[in-house]
Chain A
Amino acid sequence: MNEEISINTEKQTSQGLMIEFIDVHKWFGEFHVLRGIDLTVSRQERIVICGPSGSGKSTLIRCINRLEEHQRGRIIVDGTELTNNIKNIEKIRAEVGMVFQHFNLFPHLNIVENLALGPIWVRKVPKKEAEETAMYYLEKVHIAEQARKYPGQLSGGQQQRVAIARSLCMNPKVMLFDEPTSALDPEMIKEVLDVMIELAQEGMTMIVVTHEMGFARSVAHRVLFMDFGKIVEGNTPEEFFANPKHERTRLFLSQILH
């Protein structure tokens, strides 16, 4: 049984929900990884999901762009339901951007080519225009001077910022972040978080799986705690950190906020 906490309305804009999870279940073989997830995300809303490993948080966001398949329940993204229909899946993937823990830049292409790949081949944009878009977003993440380099030549923090720019080039409506800073050396975490904060300030809908609670405090509308495949509780950052309502949440917070 999940708690559906409704959101502080000031940040919620209109026109319906961006993402809806309705009683979603997923199994990996016999392992019940998502046990009835009910979740709604509105446009321009920013959600941080935290929880112990194995709780299903990565699986949850990977279901949104069909990197994982759910077996029960419904997932609706921007009005389109996620089913086995390839057309729907491709449509959704073009609207949903994802940033991975291990960056996953394409090592055989240089930075600009990495960014322009999607626009050229999915949105059928001419090369020049795609490269201009690429340079625009590279400026945004403050890395334009590395445009002609290859991923292997960049540091972890730089690669992750490029990865964010790569997703932005597709003009997504939602950005998913799967532990974006977990694989980074400590001194590089800030540069990535700063980019994410700027993104937030421009009104992007974001779902972020992370342990960076400072980030949660500054930009999240809601912080959700997941454990054993369920959303145990969710609240505004202030409430969440000050008054966690469940014992497990308290335990988890005490472990990460030392």
Chain B
Amino acid sequence: MKEFSDSPASEKIPFWFDPKKRAILFQFITFCMVGLLAYYLISNTLINLKRQNIATGFSFLHKESSFEIGESLIAYSAASTYGRALLVGALNTIKVAFVGIVITIILGTFIGVARLSTNWLISKLAAIYIEVMQDIPVLLQLFFWYAIFYETLPSPREAVSPGAGIFMSNRGVAFTIPEAHPAHKSMLLAFVAACMIVYLIRRWARKRQEKTGQFFPTFRVGIAIVLGLPFITWLAFGAPMEMDVPKLIGFNFEGGLTVSPEFIALLLGLVLYTAAFVAEVVRAGIQSVSKGQREAAMSIGLRPALVLNLVILPQALRVIVPPLTSQMLNLTKNSSLAVAIGYPDFVSVANTTINQTGQSIEGVALIMVVYLFFSLSTSAFMNWYNRKVALVER
């Protein structure tokens, strides 16, 4: 009769049957293989780089770039460094991504709601838009809009004007903007002040409602203040109405605000494409709230606006926000396609840099790092948001 010992480990098992030891062995082998592969690749690379006389390291960032960049938010010339050039590219990426995200969210929400409309015509049109725009590659859409600009629009001398001081030509779109005036600074300050005031009013109104039950129309009053305060400031400065109108000088427009064809084509392509996906996200979010929620809220006597604000939206937003941030990240990543139509975003500038310095590894690594930064911050945000609004369940 065998005696069962208390600790099974006291029995001698050959290590290839012990799961723990097997795991360690397996990982060891994996690491060795990965390590060997990395060693092989890296050593080849170093040899090849040496052979082709390509430098390594990031010292090129301090060298003069000697190429021009079509549009830039900060001062830049061919005499600036590569580092500065890349900064310009990054700012351009942020510019198109920011504007793109704002417009896409608005447009996408609009189309998503339209898709759910009880109006058959509107709902069907929205559905067609969503299906078509999702199924055509974004790069193709970019090329299409870019081509439209160059083939359909005339030269600045014959610019098309849909009115209101806007001039569309194949050199871009020139907008009439208000002439720079000291009033603008004050208006901006007034706007910021108005926002703070509205925030304070909201807190006061909420406390008052908790105490007395009285309802305060914060929304309407808030809008009035946010719009009204800057308006009053404007009036106080004598209502300056001078406009900076683009004038045709020589072959192009001067003055006003000009937006390049590359920017507009990129923006149009990105926005129209991503909005289709956002529309689906919004639609799914709204539909995820069961019909019974709406019925229960109505049967208590809540008005439609309150039903939406207190019951439907909080639940819908939980479902909408995570995939929405995914789509915003996709838009940012897709903006890298700017290199195909000549908009100087980060990838574009990095590409030129790589071509000139030959330092492809550093260049591509930089590109990846920048976009990884965007992705990881977005993931972090999404995780935080999900944790914050998670529905409490058993």
Contacts and interface: CB of A to CB of B under 8 A. Distances in A.
Question: Is any CB of A less than 8 Å from a CB of B in the complex?
Answer: yes
Interface stretch (B33-41, B120-128, B140-148, B204-212): B204-212
Sorting the interface of chain A by its residue count into under 10, 10 to 19, 20 to 34 or 35 or more gives 35 or more
A162 B314 CA distance: 21
B295 A67 contact: yes
Given A108-B314, A152-B393, A126 B299 contact: no
Interface stretch (B155-163, B217-225, B303-311): B303-311
A246 interface: no
B293 A104 contact: yes
B333 interface: no
B310 A94 contact: no
B393 A67 contact: no
A198 interface: no
A127 B302 contact: no
A139 interface: no
Interface string A152-171: 11000000000100110010
Interface stretch (A18-26, A116-124, A219-227): A116-124
A106 to B, nearest CB: 6
A122 B311 CA distance: 14
B373 interface: no
Interface stretch (A45-53, A95-103, A186-194, A200-208): A95-103
B207 to A, nearest CB: 10
Contacts of B209: 120, 126-127
A214 interface: no
B394 interface: yes
Contacts of A107: 315, 391
Residue of A100, A106, A120, A123 most packed against chain B (CB within 10 A) = A106
Contact of A129 (B213, B214, B311, B391): B213
Contact of B300 (A122, A124, A129, A153): A122
Contacts of A123: 213
Given A108-B318, A117-B310, A121-B310, A67 B299 contact: yes
Contacts of A210: none
A117 B211 contact: no
A106 B296 contact: yes
Nearest to B318: A108
A200 to B, nearest CB: 20
A118 B306 CA distance: 10
Given A104-B293, A107-B315, A121 B393 contact: no
A152 B295 contact: no
Interface in B279-318: 290, 292-293, 295-303, 306, 310-311, 314-315, 318
Contacts of B306: 121
Contacts of B314: 108
A187 B310 CA distance: 33
A126 B295 contact: no
Q: Is the interface of B mostly helix, strand, loop or mixed?
A: helix
Contact of B393 (A93, A120, A153, A170): A153
Contact of A152 (B212, B296, B301, B394): B394
Contact of B392 (A118, A121, A128, A152): A152
Contacts of B298: 65, 67, 93
Contacts of A128: 210-211
Contacts of B299: 65, 67, 93, 96-98, 167
B4 interface: no
A98 B292 CA distance: 12
Contact of B213 (A100, A126, A153): A126
Given A108-B391, A125-B213, A90 B303 contact: yes
Nearest to B293: A104
Given A100-B295, A152-B394, A94 B210 contact: no
B292 A102 contact: yes
Contacts of A127: 209-211, 213
A150 interface: yes
Interface string B354-394: 00000000000000000000000000000000000101111
B102 to A, nearest CB: 27
B210 A93 contact: no
Contacts of B301: 90, 93-94, 118, 122, 170
Given A96-B299, A108-B391, A150-B391, A126 B210 contact: yes
A102 B290 CA distance: 11
A102 B209 CA distance: 31
Interface string A111-154: 00000011011111111111000000000000000000110110
B15 interface: no
11 contacts: A67-B298, A97-B299, A98-B299, A106-B297, A117-B300, A117-B310, A120-B213, A121-B310, A128-B211, A130-B213, A170-B300
Interface of B: 209-215, 290, 292-293, 295-303, 306, 310-311, 314-315, 318, 389, 391-394
The 5 closest A-B pairs by CB, nearest first: A152-B393, A104-B296, A127-B210, A94-B301, A150-B392
Interface of A: 65, 67, 90, 93-94, 96-98, 100, 102, 104-108, 117-118, 120-130, 149-150, 152-153, 163, 166-167, 170
